[in-house]
Amino acid sequence: MAWRAFTALCLVLCSLLPAWASDTLKIGAVLSASGPASFLGEPEKNTLVMLQERINAKGGIGGKKIEVVIYDDESDVNKAVLAAEKLIKKDQVSAIVGPSISGNTLAIMNKAAEAKIPLLSMSAAEKIVNPVTPWVFKTPQSDRLAVQGILAHAKAAGVAKMAIVTVSDGYGQSGREVLKELIPAAGMELVADEVYGPKDTDMTAQLTKIGGAGAQAVICWGTNPGPAVVARNRAQLGMKTPLYMSHGVASQKFIELAGEAAEGLVLPASWLIVADQMPDGPYKTLLTGYITDYTSKFGVAPSAFGGYAWDALTLLAEAARISGDTTPQALRDGLEKVSGFVSATGTFTFSPTDHNGLDASSFAMVEIKGGKFVLLR
Amino acid sequence: MLFGAPQYLVSGLTVGATYGLTALGFTMIYNTTGIINFAQGEFVMLGGMLSVVLLKAGLPLPLAILAAVLCSALAGCLMERAVIRPVGRAAPVNLVIITIGVSILVRGVVMLIWGKDTFALPAFSGAKPLRFLEASVQPQSLWVLAITLLVLGALKLFFSRTIHGKAMLACACERKAAALMGISVERMAMFSFGMSGFLGAVGGAILTPITLTSYDVGVMLGLKGFAACILGGLGNPFGAAAGGLILGVLESFGAGFISSAYKDAFAFIVLLLLLFVKPTGLFGGPKSDRV
């Protein structure tokens, strides 16, 4: 008898639990707010905190207040896995945004999929959404889109022989794979494929070799400080070959490091950094609004990385609006139906075969002029 | 086939000078105390970072560099006094581990105070490259090579002509005998740490306009500097400087003529091969036991 009563009690409790939990919509976040990748996690965290207040002030998502549970993975893959477990088992969140870095996303992707909770990654690696996993989405632009932007610009300038110089870390090498695939596909010849180490301080040897190979343009793929050294070495060697950079250096810091050597370089960048030069429209309004709010709240201007967090949270709200419910399944299904949704990084159109949802227009091609990023038209 | 060779040579010599200056600092401390100081790369970093910070604080460039170098020399002395001397006559391996600890500490403190960003310093005399044969040379490279040679000459004079230099050499040969002759071995050890702090910081300050600096540049420099020491023969200042230059040139030619992907590997492969043939290094004398 006691055994039956106990079972009954358990059943009642179980049925009460979701009802109690449904007052708020819990969204988990795994971010690299400290550690080497804190330059990504910090603005993302700030943006989530800011958006949470704003969404709740407007009545929440699907009529529910949202609560963003943020865990810092300290840029460490083990901590990211632990954080994901906690979010799924202890906090029982309805969706997860993050992690900030690709390695951590790849490590927790399967956990989210097993628990049937949608994951909106804020890291760039193409592997996250190719092949498509039903429960995994990502907001940053793939390297492929940046390369397409650069190659379109080079092609218009009549470049037929291209050289690449890439950093020997994860970012550089995944970029290198895409470059090696897309450069021949664009009808150009890849005449030199050079590599440098993340800590290298002199790339004149690589650039001299590229000069000797008869390249008409060079693409450098890396994050600070390497590309700044490449730019300086190019100026030092008096090279006139046009130099393209990747979106990895689209920040004022790069211009500061490269100094005058940065003049005339062309690169793809998030629209956020040239928001003031954009044609008027809803996209410009959104970006300038974000920049103003963020700057007044945190005292510094947001970086493009913060925009990824903006995308993730507003996309979830949009998904809830489309499917009319906030269960993990409804959010996932809603995300796949998002179409023409303007957010900080670009216009998202997800489909069952495309979980990144962006196209090449999500990058602005900019040139560095007078120590500033200037939008190319 | 030989396209670009002059450029590779110039690039290699510039980078090599970095390794050479770091290697000199290693030699300095090794000669007086028998310790390999793995915080040597951190002295180089301090020289660069402090110059940047002082310049930003409003000091003119030469003054900022002077102050940065002196601060680093002081840091060297402080390191000996605070963590090496209290341990007393521990085995060299224990002391080496302590220097690794110090390097992590210094790196962490600098990161906490000035952050993880990379910083640049303006070149001493403009950035307009000079043409030399087929190579373009940055004026800063000439500064680096000139100052490295100057430092090397000064060290030579110091060790052969001054009483302090000779006293330091004496400590290296035989501590007990040196102490019996009235030389304060401890003071000489502190002095050698100060000098190697000075040398490292000079290297850091003159190289930052070319290589940029950040809190963690010391790690790789320390490693390469140590390799340069071994290549040139541990304990020989000229071997250290030459070892650095050779290492830099090897890397540059390897990257230019074979493949930049394996740039770091060439130098170390050559080093390994050399050690098989001549374990004392290029300029190291035959090892003999003192009687």
Query: In DSSP terms, which residues pair with A342 in a beta bridge?
Result: A347
DSSP class of residue A247? G
Q: Is the pLDDT of residue B50 over 60?
A: yes
| Domain residue ranges of chain A, discontinuous segments joined by + | 25-141+285-360, 144-274+363-375
Asked if the C-beta of B120 comes within 8 angstroms of chain A's C-beta atoms, the answer is yes
User: Is residue B250 domain-shared with residue B193, that is, in the same domain?
Assistant: no
Domain end call among B215, B243, B269 = B215
Q: Which residues of chain B neighbour A39 with C-beta distances below 8 Å?
A: 116
Label the pairing between strands A243-245 and A217-221: parallel
| pLDDT value of position A19 | 44
What's the pLDDT band for B287 if we cut at 50, 70, 90?
low
User: Is residue B146 domain-shared with residue B279, that is, in the same domain?
Assistant: no
User: Is residue B204 domain-shared with residue B226, that is, in the same domain?
Assistant: no
Closest by Cα among B189, B223, B159, B179 to B77: B189
Which of A208, A230, A237, A255 is the mutation pick for testing B, counting most B CBs within 10 A? A208
User: Is residue B31 domain-shared with residue B109, that is, in the same domain?
Assistant: yes
User: Is residue B112 domain-shared with residue B59, that is, in the same domain?
Assistant: yes
Label the pairing between strands A363-369 and A266-270: antiparallel
Q: Which residues of chain A neighbour B253 with C-beta distances below 8 Å?
A: 205
User: Is residue B204 domain-shared with residue B231, that is, in the same domain?
Assistant: no
Mean pLDDT within A147-153: 94
CATH number of A144-274+363-375: 3.40.50.2300
Which of these ranges, A78-82, A286-290, B156-160, has the smallest mean pLDDT? B156-160
Amino acid of residue A373: F
User: Is residue B184 domain-shared with residue B280, that is, in the same domain?
Assistant: no
- Read off the pLDDT of residues A86-109 as tens digits, 9 standing for 90 and up: 999 999 999 999 899 888 999 999
User: For residue B132, what are the domain limits?
Assistant: 24-215
Residue B14 included in any domain: no
B232 CB-near residues (< 8 Å, 6+ apart): B23, B238, B239, B240, B241, B242, B243, B244, B246, B281, B282, B283, B284
User: Is residue B228 domain-shared with residue B182, that is, in the same domain?
Assistant: no
Percent of chain B with pLDDT over 70: 97
Q: Which fold would CATH assign to domain A25-141+285-360?
A: Rossmann fold (3.40.50)
Which of B212, B253, B257 is the mutation pick for testing A, counting most A CBs within 10 A? B212
Instruction: Please state, rounded to an integer, the average pLDDT across all residues of chain B.
Output: 86
Q: Which residue has the higher pLDDT, B118 or A31?
A: A31
CA distances from B145 to A267, A331, B64, B226, B238 (A): 35, 63, 21, 19, 14
Q: Is the ipTM of this complex over 0.90?
A: no
- Read off the pLDDT of residues B79-97 as tens digits, 9 standing for 90 and up: 999 998 888 777 888 888 9
- Read off the pLDDT of residues A300-344 as tens digits, 9 standing for 90 and up: 888 888 999 999 999 999 999 999 989 999 999 999 999 999 999
> Taking CB atoms and an 8 Å limit, are B263 and A225 in contact across chains?
no
Structure tokens at B88: 């007393």
User: How close is the nearest chain A Cα to the Cα of B111, in Å?
Assistant: 11
| pLDDT value of position A265 | 95
User: Is residue B155 domain-shared with residue B170, that is, in the same domain?
Assistant: yes
What's the pLDDT band for B286 if we cut at 50, 70, 90?
low
Q: Is the pLDDT of residue B182 over 80?
A: yes
Return the residue of A nearest to B259 by Cα.
A194
pTM, two decimal places: 0.78
> Taking CB atoms and an 8 Å limit, are B255 and A206 in contact across chains?
yes
What's the pLDDT band for B35 if we cut at 50, 70, 90?
confident
Asked if the C-beta of B260 comes within 8 angstroms of chain A's C-beta atoms, the answer is yes
User: Is residue B247 domain-shared with residue B193, that is, in the same domain?
Assistant: no
Amino acid of residue A239: M
- Read off the pLDDT of residues B188-247 as tens digits, 9 standing for 90 and up: 889 999 999 999 999 899 988 888 888 888 888 888 899 999 888 888 888 898 999 999
> Taking CB atoms and an 8 Å limit, are B255 and A229 in contact across chains?
no
User: Is residue B276 domain-shared with residue B211, that is, in the same domain?
Assistant: no
Instruction: Please state, rounded to an integer, the average pLDDT across all residues of chain A.
Output: 89
Determine contact, residues A60/A325, Cβ cutoff 8 Å: no
Which of these ranges, A283-287, B76-80, B86-90, B153-157, has the smallest mean pLDDT? B86-90
Asked if the C-beta of B55 comes within 8 angstroms of chain A's C-beta atoms, the answer is no
* Surface-to-core class of residue A2, CB atoms within 10 Å of its CB (0-12 exposed, 13-18 middle, 19+ buried): exposed
Size of interface A-B (CB pairs under 8 A): 92
| pLDDT value of position A18 | 47
Q: Is the pLDDT of residue A116 over 70?
A: yes
Label the pairing between strands A266-270 and A217-221: unpaired
Domain end call among B215, B230, B249 = B215
Domain count, chain B: 2
Residue B18 included in any domain: no
| pLDDT value of position A230 | 93
> Taking CB atoms and an 8 Å limit, are A212 and B14 in contact across chains?
no
Q: Pinpoint the alpha helices (H) of chain A.
A: 2-21, 38-57, 77-85, 102-114, 143-156, 170-185, 204-212, 226-237, 252-258, 282-298, 304-323, 328-337
Render the burial of A9-43: b for 16+ CB within 10 Å, e for the rest.
eeeeeeeeeeeeeeeebbbbbbbbbebebbbbbbb
> Taking CB atoms and an 8 Å limit, are A257 and B118 in contact across chains?
yes
* Sheet-wide strand order for A24-31: A65-72, A24-31, A95-97, A119-121, A136-138
Determine contact, residues A202/A229, Cβ cutoff 8 Å: yes
By Cβ distance, the residue of B129, B220, B256 closest to A205 is B256
Mean pLDDT within A334-361: 93
Closest by Cα among B216, B159, B169 to B44: B216
Residue B209 included in any domain: yes
Residue B17 included in any domain: no
Residue B42 included in any domain: yes
User: How close is the nearest chain A Cα to the Cα of B167, in Å?
Assistant: 38
Q: Is the pLDDT of residue A16 over 80?
A: no
Residue B11 included in any domain: no
Query: In DSSP terms, which residues pair with A270 in a beta bridge?
Result: A363
Mean pLDDT within A218-222: 94
Same fold, A25-141+285-360 and A144-274+363-375: yes
> Taking CB atoms and an 8 Å limit, are A201 and B18 in contact across chains?
yes
What's the pLDDT band for B171 if we cut at 50, 70, 90?
confident
CA–CA gap between residue A370 and residue A197 (Å, rounded): 29
User: Is residue B278 domain-shared with residue B209, that is, in the same domain?
Assistant: no
| pLDDT value of position B211 | 82
Chain A, residues 2-61, CB within 8 A of chain B, namely 36, 38-39
By Cβ distance, the residue of A39, A225, A236 closest to B129 is A236
Q: Is the pLDDT of residue B72 over 90?
A: yes
Domain end call among B215, B245, B274 = B215
Which of these ranges, A12-16, A213-217, B6-10, has the smallest mean pLDDT? A12-16
> Taking CB atoms and an 8 Å limit, are A205 and B127 in contact across chains?
no
| pLDDT value of position A12 | 56
Mean pLDDT within B36-47: 92
Closest by Cα among B251, B244, B245 to B13: B245
